[in-house]
């Protein structure tokens, strides 16, 4: 542990519980949160999914319309609403 870290620990030992609680809040604001790391992981997953979508698209016919395909499948399964 560095001298600076030891000094910080000594200062924290002298604080009341209320002040330690306040200090923890400040530290949480200054330090990267797990949410930020999760967001990074989410963005990476999104980019992988987007790349997979682009790759899969090359195997579909040029005139492929996913909305039309869905509508036809729903009519086939449940019948026409009209």
Tell me the pLDDT tens digit for each residue of 31-57: 876 666 567 888 888 999 999 988 998
Contacts of 27 (CB under 8 A, 6+ apart): none
The mean pLDDT of 52-81, rounded to a whole number, is: 90
CA–CA separation, 54 vs 31, rounded Å?
A: 36
Say yes or no to pLDDT of 62 above 70: yes
Binning pLDDT at 50, 70 and 90, where does residue 77 land?
very high
Residue 12 and residue 23 in contact, taking contact as beta carbons nearer than 8 Å: yes
Best mean pLDDT range from 17-21, 31-35, 68-72? 68-72
Is the pTM value of this prediction over 0.75?
Answer: no
CA distance 42 to 55: 20
Give the domain range for residue 61.
3-78
Q: Three-class SS of residue 46?
A: helix
Say how many domains are in the chain: 1
């Amino acid at each position: 542990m560095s001298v600076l870290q030891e000094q910080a620990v000594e200062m924290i030992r002298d604080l009341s519980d209320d002040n330690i609680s306040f200090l923890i809040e400040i530290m949480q604001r200054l330090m990267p949160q797990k949410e930020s790391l999760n967001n990074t992981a989410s963005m990476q997953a999104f980019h992988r999914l987007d790349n997979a979508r682009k790759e899969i698209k090359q195997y579909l016919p040029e005139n492929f319309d996913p909305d039309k395909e869905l509508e036809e499948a729903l009519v086939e399964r449940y019948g026409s609403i009209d």
